[in-house]
Amino acid sequence: KAGVTQTPRYLIKTRGQQVTLSCSPISGHRSVSWYQQTPGQGLQFLFEYFSETQRNKGNFPGRFSGRQFSNSRSEMNVSTLELGDSALYLCASSVMQGTGGSGELFFGEGSRLTVL
């Protein structure tokens, strides 16, 4: 069974540009959540999608957005990039909504974004 796939793995952008990251969850998983990871902050929750609807959202500015398609694949977009957006962006899929109950998170390898 294929794991969570994130693309691209690495990318470099300049300030002011925008970026779109993609995440394909494990087959049968309907929940996809996104996280930002920086050395000083650890994993920070961005948002979660279940059945094409955003169910939970973290404390990030509106420049960070996402969506989920009918096949459960998800994309996140960051507009007007800032230097501080440089981070590893992780996607996780889960069978259950909200990762609550006994649901387990399965993470992808991440997309490492560098903003110059």
Partner 1 sequence: KNQVEQSPQSLIILEGKNCTLQCNYTVSPFSNLRWYKQDTGRGPVSLTIMTFSENTKSNGRYTATLDADTKQSSLHITASQLSDSASYICVVTFTGGFKTIFGAGTRLFVKA
- Where on the chain is the footprint of partner 1 (CB under 8 A)? 4, 35, 41-45, 48, 55-56, 88, 90, 92, 97-102, 104-110, 112
CB of 51 to partner 1, least distance (A): 14
Q: Do 96 and 103 meet the contact criterion of CB atoms below 8 Å apart?
A: yes
What is the edge-to-edge ordering of all strands in the sheet holding 64-68? 5-7, 19-24, 74-78, 64-68
DSSP 17: -
Q: Would you say 79 or 103 has its CB closer to partner 1?
A: 103
Q: Would you say 48 or 85 has its CB closer to partner 1?
A: 48
